[in-house]
Structure 1
Amino acid sequence: MSDKICVGRLAGAFGVRGEVRLKSFCAEPEAIVDYAPLVSADGREFRQIVLTGQGSGAYTARIDGITTKEEADALKGCDLFAPRDRLPALPDDEYYHADLIGLAVHDTGGALLGTVRDVLNHGAGDLLEVAPPGGGETVLLPFTLAAVPTVDLASGRIVADPPEGLFAG
């Protein structure tokens, strides 16, 4: 699905008439409706999304074809994807998470530290979850200019200057 970017996630039912809770991953959260039709990972298409309100940490929305609480609950955890070509171009220092996942991470001396498994954000900035080459516990690398001075999407690699001891072993 490299031609698609995850722009949101359904978080279950809101009320009993088929409305859903919708988490938007867009820089301007309400812009998620502009990218419809959206598709799920299994190919289900959602042609129309109408925001109906805003709750705690999510919007409430109506999605075409969803009319009952049970149908809305069945979609809980469903990621929503938009075609990459309909999304805005990013500045040079910003990246779609999908583009970072799978990249090799090397230290400034060229040694392989691992591969990006996920991009996380717990409120204090993005973290790259890096899986070491031999397996074992993943390492959370701060995704800052100091710790990650180079992201080279063309060559599929990241150069990292991690804090001392982060990749000990």
Structure 2
Amino acid sequence: MRKFLEAGRLCSPRGIKGELRFDCWCDSPEFLSKVRKLYLDDQGEKFLEILSYRPTIPSIIFKGYEDRNSASVLTGRTVYFSRDDIKLPKGVYFNDDLISAPVFDVEGNKIGVLKEIEESPRCFYYIVVGENKEYCIPYNDAFVKSVSPEKIVVELIDGLEKDLKADKNA
């Protein structure tokens, strides 16, 4: 389990006071509103202290980077948050913790493991890889019945799977 997770990318400066536009990769920009530090690497070796964070825009000002020129050196950098700084409600998990979780259908048959979570404008999709099939399952109550890092249960319908054997033979 990784301790530092991607928060987003720092974009171009906005104004003259070191404010940087922020492309937030979390569920919503408000998710990070209580975080006081972001990290420049996924090991947590170098951090930036947040002086101001505006989730409505979203934009950030960091201590020591309070003018446009100094802040501009951070443009394009991916920043990370520490999972220790976020308290998730019971039954809610970071996507990172769900990758490789076993996936079962509602009858209890293992269909594969969660390979990745894709985002689209409408919803998230669970990409599940089984022995000979890959499934693209919309993340909503109609298809995803329960979620935990130990086990994901889904309702399958025709059309959600792709035969991997047929693709290899084509």
Normalised TM-score (structure 1): 0.70
Q: Tell me which moved more, 32-41 or 44-53.
A: 44-53
Q: Deviations over 1:24-58 (max 9, x none)?
A: 35566245242122223143312224226854xxx
SS across alignment from 1:145:
coil
Alpha-carbon spacing, 1:111–1:2, altered in 2? closer, same or farther (3 Å) = same
Which residue pairs with 1:12 in the alignment? 11
Which residue pairs with 1:120 in the alignment? 118
Alpha-carbon spacing, 1:27–1:90, altered in 2? closer, same or farther (3 Å) = farther
Inter-partner Cα distance in structure 1 for 2:2 and 2:114: 16
Alpha-carbon spacing, 1:147–1:41, altered in 2? closer, same or farther (3 Å) = same
Normalised TM-score (structure 2): 0.70
Q: Percent identity?
A: 18
**Structure 2: runs of 5 or more not aligned:** 164-170
Contact 1:113 1:167 in 2 (8 A): no
Which residue pairs with 2:50 in the alignment? 48
Inter-partner Cα distance in structure 2 for 1:52 and 1:161: 39
**Aligned residue type for 2:126:** L
Equivalent residues, number = 156
Inter-partner Cα distance in structure 1 for 2:31 and 2:147: 27
**Structure 1: runs of 5 or more not aligned:** none
**Displaced runs of 4 or more, over 6 A:** none
Q: Deviations over 1:85-123 (max 9, x none)?
A: x3233143x432122222121223444333223223323
